[in-house]
Structures are given as C-alpha cells and as structure tokens.
Amino acid sequence: MYEENLEMSQFNHIPIPFEPARLIEKEDGHYYQTPKGNIYPSITTMLHKTMPLEKLQSLENWKIQEVAADYITQESATIGTQTHEMIENYLNGVPFTEQYRLLSVAHFNNLLPFIQKINDIHGTELRLYSDAMKLAGTSDCIAKYDGELSIIDYKTKRSNQQEEWMTDHFIQGTAYAQMFKEITGIEIKQVVILVSSEKNTRMEFVKNTDDYIDPLVERLTKFYDTLP
C-alpha cells in the first residue's frame, strides 16, 4: 500500500539554503557543532535534563516495574526511526528500498491523511541551531500545513496521547521555529505534532509558538543555571 501511495505523491519543494549543524554524540546526550565551530546541546537533551522531578520519577518507576523496559525502549526507537524515514522518503519522492517492519508501515499509513496536508516543503530532517539560545536540533519537517508555514514533527506512541502530555513537544517545535528564524529570517508561528499510536488512532496537535516562548526560556534558564 505505501509503495502505491509513494508513486502518487507530489509535493512542492522550496528549499532554503543554509549550512547545517553537525551531530555529535556524547555520553550525556546529543550535541551539535555549528558551522562556526560552536558546540550546543540538542533541544531533546536540554528538555530531558530539565524534566520535572515528578515526571522523571514516573519514568524511573516504569523502568523498575516493567521487566521488558529496555526491549520496549529499543523497539520503540527502531519503529520511530523507520516511520520517520518512510515519511521523509515519501515527502521527497524517494523510492522505498528498505524492508520495513509491519508496525512501521502501519504507523506510516495511519499518518498519511495528515502527511498529505503538507506542501511547499522548505526541508526535512533539518539540522538547525541558535547562537542566541546556544541550542540545536533536527526538525522533522518545515513546510506549509493546511496552508500555514509550520514546524512539523511526527511521533509514534504505544497508546493514545493527551494534550497535557505533549508540552515538551510543543516547546521543542517552538525552539526549532526560533532557530529557523535566526538562520533564515523567516518567522514560523505554528507547531504541528502528528501522532500515530499502536491503538490505530492518529492525533493532530496544532499550536501557536507564542504560547511556548516563556516555557522554552524557563527550561533554557534552568539548564544553563545548573551547568558546572
């Protein structure tokens, strides 16, 4: 089914030329080196290190109580990576040559009605950075969504999600919008998080970046205040 859809897909691309950051893996998280040589933590590393204590404790409790926690985490990462790759290839008109897992294919097909709202694509898997925030990260997609220029991220989850659980994703998207504006001068006001769950449900969260600037600044301040 997904190969059929790939052949029918046509998306307009409006690439924005800029020199991307380079990903660096460290023991304590993901970091990026900018074209000027500055090394900044990823937005995901920053958010993880400033996670509220109750959320961190809840995650630790789950790891203790769930005997298959490591396996579930590894499988979830694999499925998420494959689904992202399929969407990226679909948007870029790249033939699918890999043999993907059935769950990855199911997530891809589940998200297709949302993915087909995308057009005028500035780029996929864009490695962005901000000297002002001393932060970097990789945005899944920057494009118009339902006609509005947006930061678009895709998530694969085991269960249905509630909006209050998604705050960090909205902050993450807002950070990407700030990075993109700093690099290109183009302002993005909309964050779109597209979620596929293993319950065969899909969810679409659309937010205004203005609502998450203050939480982003608070988390950044907390992160840099705790550095040695």
Domain holding 78: CATH number?
3.90.320
**Which pLDDT value is given to residue 202?**
94
Are the beta carbons of 132 and 182 closer than 8 angstroms? yes
Residue bearing the bigger pLDDT, 197 or 61: 197
Q: Residue 50 pLDDT > 80, yes or no?
A: yes
Q: What is the share, in percent, of the chain residues with pLDDT greater than 70?
A: 89
Beta-carbon contacts of residue 193 (< 8 Å; ≥ 6 apart): 153, 155, 166, 169, 170, 173, 204, 205, 207
pLDDT tens-digit profile of 152-175?
999 998 778 888 889 999 999 999
- CA 220 to CA 228: how far, in whole Å? 15
Q: Based on the number of CB atoms within 10 Å of its own CB, is 98 exposed (0-12), middle (13-18) or buried (19 or more)? A: exposed
Q: Residue 16 pLDDT > 80, yes or no?
A: yes
**Which pLDDT value is given to residue 70?**
75
Are the beta carbons of 151 and 130 closer than 8 angstroms? no
Q: What is the share, in percent, of the chain residues with pLDDT greater than 90?
A: 68
- CA 127 to CA 187: how far, in whole Å? 17
Sign of the dihedral through C-alpha 166, 171, 173, 174: positive
**Which pLDDT value is given to residue 146?**
96
How does strand 118-130 pair with strand 135-145? antiparallel
Give the N- to C-terminal CA distance of the chain in Å, as an integer: 52
Which token pair is 216? 């982003």
Confidence of residue 83 (pLDDT cuts 50, 70, 90): very high
- CA 93 to CA 7: how far, in whole Å? 8
Widest CA span in the chain: 53
Q: Residue 4 pLDDT > 60, yes or no?
A: no
Q: What is the mean pLDDT of the chain?
A: 89
Number of domains making up the chain: 1
Confidence of residue 69 (pLDDT cuts 50, 70, 90): low
Are the beta carbons of 128 and 139 closer than 8 angstroms? yes
What's the domain range around 216? 2-225
